[in-house]
Chain A
Amino acid sequence: MSGEAAAGMAGAEKNLVRVAKLKKYFSTPFGNLHAVDDISFDIRRGSTLGMVGESGCGKSTTGRLLVRLLEATAGTILYDGIDVTTAPERDMKTLRTRMQMIFQDPYSSINPRHTVASLIGEPLRIHKIVHNTTEFERRVRELMDTVGLADRLYDAYPHELDGGRRQRIGIARALALHPQFIVCDEPVSALDVSIQAQILNLLMDLQEKLGLTYLFITHDLSVVKHISEDIVIMYLGQIVERGPTGELFDKPLHPYSRALLSAIPLPELDTRRDRIILKSEVSSPIEPPPGCRFAPRCAHVRPECTAADPALREVSPGRFAACVLAERFL
């Protein structure tokens, strides 16, 4: 495999990020909310892992746990061998130069009171990377060029800019510290399609040029298919299916993945397919009962589904699913 070869050359492990048994519970007056409930996955160096799921499935929480904007309840997140969940404050500061995040909302993720230059240059100031104004200005202009922001916008304020340009500021800010790994939390879902395409192209170009590794969180399946090599599908805090993008889209193994994929509206003429319409809605993530979280909506539900949590298991090489019936869909 080419990924392995590349990793071998670098003399490092092929997985940049390894997440094991990660949990995040939020306490509420009604009990613990299981936002992320025992998930494990790896992200290969230089690849993009797409994380898909509907609102409340825990995908954004996972992203925030990875860059430690939230503290994990249990589990480990190994970034290049260092455990992010327990790293002391001093190590975190260096880690932050290596992993960054791009946020969903290009409006609220950009401080409206600062100029473009001061927004993009903020990480340089925080980590004292530049030592004088000349160097600062040169680096900021370089970053603006990298993400395709016109030079004349150096002193502009965010309110003068549209969503796409604001998102470019967010990307430039994330790139300023030369990170290797970026969590992209729905970076294009607030943008119009034509702008969305510009940003997706930019993200892919940057990955190629800088060898970045992405965790790409989204609810938009066509976007995730387009950008990622591997996919994780989440439902109510758990991973229900994991596998290489192409295979997973061709032959989804979990009943939820099947319903999710069939629900995508396709902008094509000959695709009035049979779709699987799910009954009812997502159940509560607060103190969920044991058993498959998807069972109440599943068309194939059996008695053993509600007995215990179905484990995420390798159904065929490289394909993982958390369903007792997964073989049936192979």
Chain B
Amino acid sequence: MHAFDTSGSNLSRSLRRIARNFGQFWRRFSRNKLATASLAFVILVALVSVFADLFYNYDFVTANSLENAFLKPGESGVVYFQDRDVEHRFLLGSDNYGRDILGRIVHGARVSLIIGFVAVAFALSLGGTLGAMAGYKGGRMDTLIMRVTDILLSIPMIMLSIAIVAALGNSFFNLLLAISITLAPRYIRIVRASVITVKDQEFVEAARCLGASDLRIVFRHILINITAPIIVQSTLNVGTAILWTSFLSFLGLGIMPPKPEWGNMLAEAREFIQYAPHTLFAPGIAILLTVLAYNLMGDGLRDALDPKLKR
């Protein structure tokens, strides 16, 4: 069919265009070695958490095996699991209940990542919509949205999330909600500011002159021009969300043991810091490296995407 052919050639043309744009972006990004290494680490963590079940059985890392408590990294022990004794090597040792620390970190990564991405996606859609409305419409709508944002921002962020979880009760969904609501004001601000700078450009006027609707202008002309700061902000926010998940869990307000989560692993290990410091170091280092990687990657993305720095 003729029409089919054209769309085919359109598709291949678009693909080529995307490849060309990505090539340019990658050349700039890959100059930053630290950011590239961070990206590799982030991908590694993502793969590990997606395929966590291939490495460790979930029931295995949540089941107690008190006779193996506080094994040193690399030591082996016999675990009674699924009605039989299994010889198991604890690569990073075991915790106070004799659970495999590496296994719990691998499954904890999955929790952190899900919360990180879902919370950021939720915050982005909420904050992005409100920010775009405030910036594009201006006037009373802008005043209302921004004052509410100011109020949210004046409450210390961690207090806000604690308050939300404490009020709504301790659950996975409420944790997500708490983190999203605390992240949303950041998006409101950044999207509003970007929309305001873009909306006064002549091309927006040109689109209005052509008869484009507000919705079309916002999506096809404004948002498309502010993707770079949003991507950068989101990368940094994933790091923040992971940190807060751990922090709330550490306080006992997030994911509760025996479910593996880096923050609650830290909380449990805290008591044994002198006796078995490895139980504390492992989740601590996991949090540190992951959050650091997201931040470094975000910085690298900013340099690569920001046209002002284009050489």
Residues of A at the B interface (CB closer than 8 Å) are: 64, 67, 69, 92-93, 96-97, 100-101, 103-105, 108-115, 122-123, 126-127, 132-134, 137, 155, 170, 173, 177
Contacts and interface: CB of A to CB of B under 8 A. Distances in A.
Contacts of A113: 224-225
Given A122-B210, A134-B6, A112 B225 contact: yes
B209 A111 contact: no
Nearest to A105: B202
A21 B7 CA distance: 52
Interface residues of B, number: 24
A111 B208 contact: no
Nearest to A101: B209
B28 interface: no
Interface string B193-229: 0000000011101111111110010001100110000
Closest 10 CB pairs of A and B: A109-B202, A96-B211, A111-B203, A108-B202, A123-B210, A113-B224, A103-B202, A108-B201, A101-B209, A133-B6
Contact of A103 (B6, B17, B206, B224): B206
A17 B201 CA distance: 27
A329 to B, nearest CB: 38
B105 to A, nearest CB: 41
A126 B7 contact: no
B13 interface: yes
B205 A69 contact: yes
A122 B212 contact: yes
B167 interface: no
A69 B216 contact: no
B125 interface: no
B216 A126 contact: yes
Contacts of B212: 122, 126
Given A105-B202, A109-B202, A112-B225, A134 B209 contact: no
Interface of B is mostly: helix
A69 B209 contact: yes
Interface string B1-40: 0110011001001000100000000000000000000000
B3 A96 contact: no
20 contacts: A67-B209, A69-B209, A96-B210, A97-B211, A100-B210, A101-B206, A101-B209, A103-B206, A104-B202, A108-B201, A108-B203, A109-B206, A111-B207, A111-B225, A112-B225, A115-B17, A123-B211, A133-B10, A137-B6, A155-B13
B216 A173 contact: no
Contacts of B3: 132-134
Contact of B7 (A69, A114, A133, A177): A133
A230 to B, nearest CB: 24
Contacts of B207: 111, 122
Interface in B159-199: none
A170 B210 CA distance: 11
A21 to B, nearest CB: 24
